[in-house]
Structure 1
Amino acid sequence: MTDNNNVDRRNQPRFPMRAYAQLAYSSKQWEVHILDMSMTGARIALLGEHLFRAGDHIKLFIDSEEIGLHDAEKKNLNLHGQIVHVRDHILGIEQQPTTEKDKELLVLLLAHTDE
Structure 2
Amino acid sequence: MAAAAALVTVGAGLGLRAVATGDVAKYGGDALYTLLVLTLVVLLAPRTPPARAAGVALAVSWAVELLQLTGLPAELSARSTAARLVLGSTFNAPDLFWYVIGAAAGWLVLRAPARRRPAR
The question of a shared fold, defined as TM-score above 0.5 by the shorter chain, is answered with no
Q: TM-score, normalised by structure 1?
A: 0.27
Q: TM-score, normalised by structure 2?
A: 0.26
Q: Higher relative CO (CA 8 A, sep ≥ 6), structure 1 or 2?
A: 2
The structure carrying a bigger helix percent of its residues is 2
Larger Rg: 2
